[in-house]
Amino acid sequence: MQTPPQFTDTFVTIERFILEQERNIPDATGVLSDILYDMALAAKLIASHTTRAGLADILGSTGVENVQGEIVQRLDDFAERTIYRLNDHTRRLAVMASEEMEDIIPIPERFGGGKDGKYVLIYDPLDGSSNIDCNVSVGTIFAIYRRKSPIGDCGTLEDCLQPGRNLAAAGYIIYGSSTMMVYSAGQGVNGFTLDPHVGEFLLSHPNIQVPAKSKYYSVNQGYERQWSPGVQRYTRWLQGENETGKGLSMRYIGSLVADFHRNLLDGGVYYYPADIKNPAKPQGKLRLLCEANPLAFLVEQAGGYASDGRRPILDIQPTSLHQRVPLYIGSRDLVEKAEEFIREMDSVPA
């Protein structure tokens, strides 16, 4: 006689997971959970376009309208508009901000003007967009804060200029050989892989922890001559000029999300230093609000650390929407080593 099939309890959709986490918070109203679902939906829509990226030009080359009745958009523009459209009318948000938009993005008056929204959404709609044309992984990064301004008012710039310590949730989506959404709402970091056949994100990477042993360092070494002496020395330390004589392997994709994701799973450090000889990039390239803060929140939730070379990223009080910041992120010991070299060898910038 055949034994009945044994079902395991591992089929966890992102909806089920978000809901179960919400139950751990006694006074949760479900609004944050709904914003996370909205981001998962945005991820599916953007993923369905990134997988057709090479076709967009062919389909759009004549300027003809696509099936939705729109001219085919560049992917970063498509991602921007997708996230905005999924979130402008939900009455969950007070205000939004995006890497692609110079000013804060108000909620339209017809959808309440943000007066009833409890949260603030800040996002990089398409990260690593210079990699799209050559079919390399790209991503989306998002950060969710509780509003500062009182309910009943429209959301403000001050709602967006909060230190990362205040984050209620953050996450990213990676459009790679598969699509994954990785997020944290303050109860650890969990990763979900999209099953494209059923259109669901399924829990594939529960409780992600930065590995104790590091494999990689990731940096654009083409800019090495523009770095401070401390950062140059740190790089040689990573390469093996250290007490053990052993170096790490170097991997650099040039899509922050993809570089961060690999190091989160395999162990290592990513850095984008200040560019001391380039007046255009004195603070490096990455943006505090939509790139550094959400990833810093995730890495700390996973037991790692993020710094600007001198202090925790999450403690920086932002002063402007598109503020840039040097970033060292990954395994705690490696990031603290960067701080040590910078403290000992580099003067404090004026």
Nearer to ligand AHG, 170 or 256 (CB): 256
Q: How many residues bind ligand AHG (CB under 6 A)?
A: 11
Sorted by sequence, the CB contacts under 8 Å of residue 224 that are 6+ apart come out as 232, 235
Q: Does 255 participate in binding ligand AHG (rule CB under 6 A)?
A: yes
Assess 288 for contact with ligand AHG (CB under 6 A): no
* Residues contributing to the site for Mn ion (CB under 5 A): 99, 124, 126-127
Residue 346 touches which of Mn ion, ligand AHG, none (Cβ within 5-8 Å per kind):
none
Distance, in Å, from the CA atom of 19 to the CA atom of 302, rounded to the nearest integer, reads 21
| CA nearest to 293, candidates 130, 134, 120 | 120
CB under 6 A: which stretch of 3-11, 50-58, 123-131, 335-343 binds ligand AHG? Answer: 123-131
CB of residue 231 to ligand AHG, shortest distance in Å: 14
Q: Which is nearer to ligand AHG, 191 or 273 (CB)?
A: 273
Q: Which is nearer to Mn ion, 264 or 342 (CB)?
A: 264
In the numeric block, the tokens 């998002």 are attached to 142
**Taking CB under 6 A as the rule, does residue 262 contact ligand AHG?**
no
Beta bridge partners of 195: 200
Structure tokens at 304: 């790692």
**Distances from the Cα of 121 to the Cαs of 55, 147, 162, 248, 315, in angstroms?**
31, 10, 12, 36, 19
> In Å, what is the CA distance from 255 to each residue of 76, 127, 141, 205, 219?
14, 6, 11, 21, 11
Our CB check for ligand AHG shows the closer of 267 and 284 to be 284
**Angle at 215 (CA atoms; ends 268, 252), nearest 5 degrees:** 65
293: contact with ligand AHG by CB under 6 A: no
Q: Which amino acid is at 280?
A: A
Put the strands of the sheet holding 179-184 in their side by side order: 105-106, 93-98, 119-127, 138-146, 167-175, 179-184, 190-195, 200-205
In the shown chain, the binding pattern of residues 189 to 228 toward ligand AHG, with x for contact by CB under 6 A and - for none, equals -------------------------------x--------
Q: Does 256 sit near ligand AHG (CB under 6 A)? A: yes
> Residue 285 binds what, of Mn ion, ligand AHG, none (CB under 5 to 8 Å, by partner type)?
ligand AHG
Binding flag, residue 275, ligand AHG (CB under 6 A): no
Does residue 129 bind ligand AHG (CB under 6 A)? yes
Instruction: Name the residues that contact ligand AHG, by CB under 6 A.
Output: 99, 124, 127-130, 220, 254-256, 285
